[in-house]
Amino acid sequence: MKRVIFDTDIGIDDAMALLFLHYAPGLRIEAITTVSGNASIANTTRNACYVRERFGIDVRVFRGASGPIGPALGQGHPDFVHGKNGLGDISFPEPSQGAELQAAPEAIVELAEAYPGEISVVAVGRLSNLSKALDLCPRLPELLKEVVVMGGVFMRRGHQGNVSPVAEANMAGDPTAADRVFNSGLDVTVVGLDVTAETIMDESFIAALRDRAGDAGAFIHDITRFYFDFYEGVNGERSCPIHDSSAVAYLLAPQHYGVEVGPTRVVCEGIAMGQTILGLHPDRYASDAWLERANCRICTSVDAQAVKALYLETL
């Protein structure tokens, strides 16, 4: 059985990823840890508690970082993408149960120590909680099995970031934390925008979910109305990339992804703040920024049809 911590700034695509994890066989979600990002920490934590309650997910929710640990690109939350409440502005009742008193970084450490070598973290927001957990427990890389991150964008022709030409939101929102996690010795796999952009959900896919996936399908249909309005405004089509569910798909079926391996840095200042750079040939560079650093696994290709089929089948 896979034990998973879902570390999330739960907005629309995060909620879809959480349901993907919840319905995947042979997997237990040990904790949901929240972080500020798509919405405020109050709203991302409320959203986690609401989705847990609505879908009867047996899991504790731990509130995490309300802001980045270092300088970040931009202020505020992308309410034009995820709505003011982070879930496409659908209305829903106040969840009857809130988050635990323990903070997210401590919960991550406690679970890693309770299940050494067994916990996979699926991290689909800023990496502030994991960075803080590394401060609390420098042995974390030995204790966690792996970390699968949705974030970044890697140099491929025609691909750009979503908050600057080179930066993706989860990286730009806390670049210091991301660079720390990537260089910590944790077993890290990253699915960036250049790969998630190849896995597109359109209205017919959402309609299939609505018709075949019960309340989960109805919920996804409702929260994606706002999301699709945003994407239609951007590219003229009612469809969206499968961002956060791509990290879950990698966890469940890594064979659907091609990867390249190497030390990976995140730019922490200047106009390229938040840029993710995989160094495939560290000993050939004039800069030593990639030398003698831990490797990350960077996804570079995907079998998009297989990932979409897995999502539909799981839900």
30 interface partner picked from Ca ion, ligand BDR, none, CB below 5 to 8 A per type: none
Residue among 112 and 247 whose Cβ is closer to ligand BDR:
247
CB 39 within 8 A of CB 82: yes
Beta bridge partners of 278: 264
- Rule CB under 5 A: say whether 127 interacts with Ca ion: no
CB of 160 closer than 8 Å to CB of 44: no
Contact stretch for ligand BDR (CB under 6 A) within 9-17, 62-70, 91-99, 134-142: 9-17
Is 174 among the residues that bind ligand BDR (CB under 6 A)? no
The Cα 2–Cα 145 span in angstroms is 10
| Smallest distance, ligand BDR to C-beta of residue 15, A | 9
**Which of 7, 9, 13, 244 is an active site residue?**
9
Stretch that binds Ca ion, among 48-56, 230-238, 242-250, 293-301 (CB under 5 A): 242-250
Pick the binder of ligand BDR from 2, 132, 243, 293 (CB under 6 A): 243
- Taking the C-alpha atoms of residue 108 and residue 193, their distance in angstroms, rounded to an integer, is 26
Question: Whole-angstrom Cα distance, residue 175 to residue 69?
Answer: 9
Residue from 125, 151, 173, 175 binding Ca ion (CB under 5 A): 125
Label residue 125 exposed, middle or buried (CB < 10 Å: 0-12, 13-18, 19+).
Answer: buried
Does 30 contact Ca ion by CB under 5 A? no
Residue nearest ligand BDR (C-beta atom): 169
User: In terms of CB distance, is 137 or 149 closer to Ca ion?
Assistant: 149
Quick one: which segment of 96-104, 165-173, 225-233, 270-278 binds ligand BDR (CB under 6 A)?
A: 165-173
Give the amino acid at 91: S
Q: Of 107, 20, 24, whose CA–CA distance to 64 is shortest?
A: 107
List 22, 77, 82, 243, catalytic entry:
243
- Per DSSP, the three-state class of 230 is helix
Q: How far is CA 315 from CA 15, 55, 60, 164, in A?
A: 13, 12, 22, 34
Q: Does 88 bind Ca ion (CB under 5 A)?
A: no
Distance (Å, whole) CA 105 – CA 44: 16
243 part of the active site: yes
Q: Does 168 bind ligand BDR (CB under 6 A)?
A: yes
Binding site for ligand BDR (CB under 6 A): 11, 13-14, 37-38, 124-125, 150, 162, 168-170, 243-244
